[in-house]
């Protein structure tokens, strides 16, 4: 059981902080650019409603009913076969894998805060060379910024639910939203704002492919921090009188709004300067810095604010990734928070160091397995296998292993019967099929 509890606002901001990560501000815009704009956004929004929100509420239910860590929830909640279901709780260890490379990317963002404040590259070619050079040759610089991201993340989690996680989200989430809204107001003054709105919100279904549909489904699922026990662990620390339905809706809405604002800001800049929207993963690091450079001192200020917002999003997510595993270790092995974080910290740092050097030209031979770098292995295994598997288990567990009357008792007062029936149908049929389709596509096609 938890000694600490979130406040209601603290839970929404912490869960939103977990959901609002690099996926919203870095990954969502580049995936939208690669998949034709509005049609991708339309499918993404549908998936948030029918799959993402369903699984989010299911994880919240498990956390509230169990009042414990993810493994305990799977083990103690079902009437039968708890000894088998408990293995589903080991989804919490997915967080350790993700954090090991996620902190590297946060380290890149820290570096770009410094770049934005000092000397921005003047062309896309120069920006591409700088970004590529940083990843493949600058081992010392990358290790420095990776270590900084690692230390900040683990220090916040070491302070606990109220003093650490809730407090940092109460500060960083409003700041993140504030910076993005200011950037949006600036974007509204530029010529490309109308083009940006058309690109994002007027769907051209001729650009839709089976790949773009599955990418939208996959991204909607991952952006809400599902499938690794975070929402379950956070929900276990909610006050008893909290409304899980409104909390879930608030988090999903905030997460989606931030992704759309980031998209509007980034595509306005791209269209205003005549750049291409389909730029891939380098969109934020390669396409934007030269655009900021062209604006002179104002560009330094806007670029600095943008990368600070990106860093905030990264840190609030990183913190949430550590907590489920830490909570499991504290509860199960009766060790202190510091002891649990020490074990997790060493594991994460070693894996992160291997992932980092697997991108460095002169060192990658030391961190390659079967011809693939550790960074790529960790990224693929978590996003294509472990996260969707975790989400699939949550959907099947709540849909089939939990008694329906317990769900009605918990949620019945907070949603109309028709809404409950839609959610229950979704968690039993729509979500499992959608998640399974994404997994099969990622693994075999």
Instruction: Find out whether 41 and 213 touch, Cβ atoms under 8 Å.
Output: no
Predicted pLDDT of residue 176? 86
pLDDT greater at residue 199 or residue 173: 199
In sequence order, the 6+-apart residues with CB closer than 8 A to the CB of 192 are 267, 268, 269, 270, 271, 272, 273
pLDDT digits (tens, 9 = 90+) for 140-176: 999 999 999 999 999 998 988 777 888 888 888 888 8
pLDDT greater at residue 6 or residue 156: 156
pLDDT digits (tens, 9 = 90+) for 87-112: 998 888 998 999 999 999 999 999 99
Phi, psi dihedrals of residue 368, rounded to the nearest 5°: -125, 135
Predicted pLDDT of residue 443? 82
Cα radius of gyration rounded to whole Å, the chain: 21
372 backbone φψ class: left, alpha, beta (φ>0; ψ -120 to 50): beta
**The pLDDT of residue 3 is above 70:** no
In sequence order, the 6+-apart residues with CB closer than 8 A to the CB of 147 are 107
The Cβ-side half-sphere exposure at 323, using a 13 Å CA radius, reads: 31
DSSP 279: -
DSSP 259: H
Predicted pLDDT of residue 349? 97
In this prediction, residue 2 has a pLDDT band, given cuts at 50, 70 and 90, of very low
Highest-pLDDT range among 19-28, 216-225, 228-237, 412-421: 412-421
pLDDT greater at residue 274 or residue 129: 129
pLDDT digits (tens, 9 = 90+) for 344-353: 999 999 999 9
Q: How far apart, in whole angstroms, are the C-alpha atoms of residue 227 and residue 229?
A: 6
Flag the least confident range among 53-62, 207-216, 250-259, 408-417.
207-216
Q: List Cα–Cα distances, 296 to 117, 282, 293, 404, in angstroms.
A: 11, 22, 6, 60
Alpha helices (runs of H) in 67-188, residue ranges in sequence order: 70-76, 82-85, 94-117, 124-136, 139-158, 167-188
**The pLDDT of residue 326 is above 60:** yes
pLDDT digits (tens, 9 = 90+) for 373-392: 999 899 888 887 888 899 99
Q: What is the DSSP string of 356-411?
A: HHTTSTTTGGGGEETTEEHHHHHHHIIIIIIHHHHHHHHHHIIIIIS-HHHHHHHH
Segment 362-369 shows an average pLDDT of: 86
Instruction: Find out whether 271 and 38 touch, Cβ atoms under 8 Å.
Output: no
In this prediction, residue 415 has a pLDDT band, given cuts at 50, 70 and 90, of very high
Flag the least confident range among 178-187, 269-278, 314-323.
269-278
Beta carbons within 10 angstroms of residue 381's beta carbon:
14
Predicted pLDDT of residue 19? 78
Segment 394-409 shows an average pLDDT of: 95
Instruction: Find out whether 56 and 251 touch, Cβ atoms under 8 Å.
Output: yes
3-state DSSP helix/strand/coil % of the chain, to nearest 5: 80, 0, 20
Each residue of 107-128: b (16+ CB within 10 Å) or e? bbbbbbbebbeeebbeebeebb
Q: How far apart, in whole angstroms, are the C-alpha atoms of residue 53 and residue 391?
A: 12
Q: Calculate the average pLDDT of the chain.
A: 89
Alpha helices (runs of H) in 189-243, residue ranges in sequence order: 193-201, 210-223, 230-235
225 backbone φψ class: left, alpha, beta (φ>0; ψ -120 to 50): left
Q: For the chain, which domains are there? A: 8-444 (1.10.4160.10)
Predicted pLDDT of residue 264? 94
Reported pTM = 0.88
Predicted pLDDT of residue 7? 76
Question: Token pair for residue 405?
Answer: 């009357």
Segment 176-186 shows an average pLDDT of: 90
Q: List Cα–Cα distances, 242 to 5, 11, 51, 163, 224, in angstroms.
A: 11, 10, 22, 20, 20
């Amino acid at each position: 059981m938890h000694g600490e509890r979130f406040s209601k606002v603290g839970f929404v901001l912490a869960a939103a902080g977990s959901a609002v990560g690099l996926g919203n501000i870095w990954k969502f815009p580049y995936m939208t650019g690669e998949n034709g704009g509005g049609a991708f956004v339309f499918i993404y929004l549908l998936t948030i409603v029918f799959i993402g929100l369903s699984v989010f509420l299911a994880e919240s239910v498990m956390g509230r009913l169990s009042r414990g860590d993810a493994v305990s929830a799977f083990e103690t909640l079902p009437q039968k076969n708890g000894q088998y279901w408990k293995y589903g709780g080991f989804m919490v260890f997915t967080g350790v894998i993700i954090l090991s490379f996620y902190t590297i990317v946060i380290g890149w963002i820290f570096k770009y805060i410094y770049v934005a404040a000092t000397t921005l590259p003047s062309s896309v070619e120069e920006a591409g060379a700088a970004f590529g050079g940083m990843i493949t040759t600058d081992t010392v610089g990358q290790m420095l910024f990776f270590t900084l991201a690692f230390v900040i993340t683990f220090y916040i989690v070491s302070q606990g639910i109220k003093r650490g996680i809730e407090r940092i989200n109460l500060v960083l989430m409003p700041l993140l939203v504030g910076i993005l809204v200011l950037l949006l107001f600036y974007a509204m003054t530029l010529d490309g704002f109308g083009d940006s709105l058309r690109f994002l919100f007027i769907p051209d279904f001729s650009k839709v492919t089976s790949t773009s549909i599955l990418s939208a489904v996959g991204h909607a699922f991952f952006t809400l921090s599902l499938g690794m026990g975070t929402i379950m662990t956070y929900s276990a620390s909610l006050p008893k009188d909290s409304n899980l339905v409104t909390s879930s809706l608030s988090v999903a809405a905030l997460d989606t709004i931030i992704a759309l604002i980031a998209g509007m800001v980034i595509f306005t800049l791209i269209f205003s300067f005549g750049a291409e929207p389909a730029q891939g993963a380098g969109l934020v690091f390669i396409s934007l810095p030269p655009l900021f450079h062209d604006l002179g001192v104002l560009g330094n200020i806007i670029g600095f604010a943008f990368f600070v917002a990106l860093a905030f999003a990264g840190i609030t997510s990183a913190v949430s990734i550590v907590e489920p595993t830490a909570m499991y270790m504290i509860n199960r092995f009766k060790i202190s928070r510091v002891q649990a974080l020490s074990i997790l910290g060493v594991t994460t740092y070693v894996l992160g160091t291997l992932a980092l050097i697997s991108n460095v030209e002169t060192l990658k031979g030391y961190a390659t397995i079967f011809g693939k770098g550790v960074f790529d292995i960790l990224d693929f295994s978590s996003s294509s296998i472990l996260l969707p598997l975790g989400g699939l288990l949550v959907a099947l567990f709540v849909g089939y292993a939990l008694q329906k009357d317990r769900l009605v008792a918990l949620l019945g007062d907070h949603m109309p019967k028709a809404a409950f029936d839609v959610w229950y149908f979704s968690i039993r049929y729509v979500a499992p099929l959608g998640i399974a389709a994404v997994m099969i596509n990622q693994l075999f096609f």
